[in-house]
Amino acid sequence: MRFESISRRRRPLSRNETAGAISQALETFPGIGFDWQPAELRLAWTDGPGPSTIWKTAGEPSGWKYHNPAFYAPAAGAAQVVLMERTHSTTALREAAVRFYAIVERPPDLARERDVARLAQILEADQPLPGSFPIVEGIAGALANGLPASADDPAAYLLKAANLLHQLGYNRLWAEAYRLAD
């Protein structure tokens, strides 16, 4: 005889319960400069954990969804939405350009839906701890000298980084970063 568990639906959390769950989740990420506005259910930060990690840490509040306005337009009539706006440092944008190039061996084309989806997936992932990927960090560091110090337009900055990577030669920079990481 085989028994299968039937999951029970959880009741939707109230606005205050959702705000409390997220507030508690944020405490598990010390050192990240969160701008949390519980009254508006709006969270903003730069780098660090991805939105899905924060959402899972908050227990995936029942009856609610999170939305990252940097990548997606809010669904019409979505009343129970927590806004999670994660921005990226220039270092994170250069590293995303390197990671993208490592996958497809060319700069991204933002007119191609698949490229945009790949970039979103890379950028929404948790930001690795410094030193976790020394070759990616080395290549991204080599790009820093040829790029502006700030990124007023993150998409344009990322494209400049990817094109510079292409011009300088990914394989050459990879070999140099590997040599330095050893």
Task: Give the DSSP letter string of 84-127.
Answer: EEEE--HHHHHHHHHHHHHHHSS---TTSHHHHHHHHHHHHSPP
What pLDDT, on a 0 to 100 scale, did the predictor assign at position 70?
Answer: 59
Task: Look at residue 79 in the predicted model and tell me its pLDDT.
Answer: 66
Which residue ranges make up each domain of the chain? Answer: 15-87, 90-181
DSSP 8-state assignment for residue 42? E
Residue numbers in the chain where pLDDT is lower than 70: 1-9, 68-79
Q: What is the pLDDT of residues 30-63, one digit of tens each?
A: 999 999 999 999 999 999 999 999 999 999 999 9
pLDDT recorded at residue 22: 97
Closest CA to 135 of 178, 94, 168: 178
CB burial of 30-61 (b: ≥16 within 10 Å; e: otherwise) equals eeeebeeeeeebebbbebbbbbebbbebbeeb
Beta strands in the chain (DSSP E): 35-37, 42-46, 65-67, 81-87
Give this prediction's pTM.
0.79
